[in-house]
Amino acid sequence: MVNDGFEQLFGYRESEIKGLELDKLIVPEQDQEEAMRLTESAHVKETTEKRIRKDGTIIDVIIYAVPVVVEKSVVGIYGLYVDITDRKEAEEKVRKSLKEKEMLLAEIHHRVKNNLAVITGLLELQSYSAESESAKKILRDSQMRVHSIAMVHEKLYKSEDFSEIDIKQYFEELSRVIGRTMEKSDVEVSIDIDIAQLNYRLHKQYPVDFY
């Protein structure tokens, strides 16, 4: 027996399918075994599958299979079908849109990374031609600022959450960059980091000055 909702969803009138095996009528061939297990289950089940309408259209449905039990024996299955084709199509559009945005984000990341590398290189070249120590110091400081920006950008790109970064790991890596830079001078550098393990949320009201 089927109701009006089934007739509207699958396009069959009850008189057309009376006496036929429903699974062979609306279930795709590759899903026949799974459909058989569903109809033979003694427990309520919910699954998302594909089914075939009378006109041959494949639709996505949520199926609720509720066994009809009489004296502890399953005598039939009460099936509920919910058409989720529109939802599946919307999800697919979102997935495609997300993929496009991921590709765009990757392209932006590489361009920003390359631009920051060029800026760092130009500052280093300029420091070689600078005559005064004060000018060299300013250029080195500028290099370190660009390094810190590049590191934050890299961490955000690799992070699953764009709203926060691991501040402890960030300072550890930044200090190593500073240490390598200072090794080129006559200054002896000793780095000691004492910072709690935490994630810094980038939208705090009073942001940390990374520079």
Q: Encode the chain (211 residues) as per-residue pLDDT tens digits.
A: 888 888 899 999 988 888 888 888 899 988 888 888 887 778 888 888 999 999 999 999 999 988 888 888 888 888 889 999 998 889 889 988 888 888 888 888 888 888 888 888 888 888 888 888 888 888 888 888 887 788 777 777 776 665 666 777 777 777 777 777 666 666 677 777 777 665 555 444 434 443 3
| pLDDT of amino acid 199 | 52
pTM as predicted: 0.49
> Could you tell me how many helices (H) and strands (E) the chain has, helices first?
7, 5
Count other C-beta atoms under 10 Å from residue 12's C-beta.
19
What is the per-residue pLDDT for 41?
78
Residues in CB range of 211: below 8 A, 6 or more apart: 144, 145, 148
Rg (CA), the chain: 32
Structural domains in the chain? Answer: 4-83 (3.30.450.20), 88-201 (no CATH)
pLDDT at 202: 45
DSSP 71: T
CA–CA dist 185, 189 (Å, integer) = 10
Give every CB contact of residue 71 below 8 A, 6+ residues apart in sequence: none
Give the whole-angstrom CA distance, residue 177 versus residue 154: 14
Q: What is the pLDDT of residue 209?
A: 44
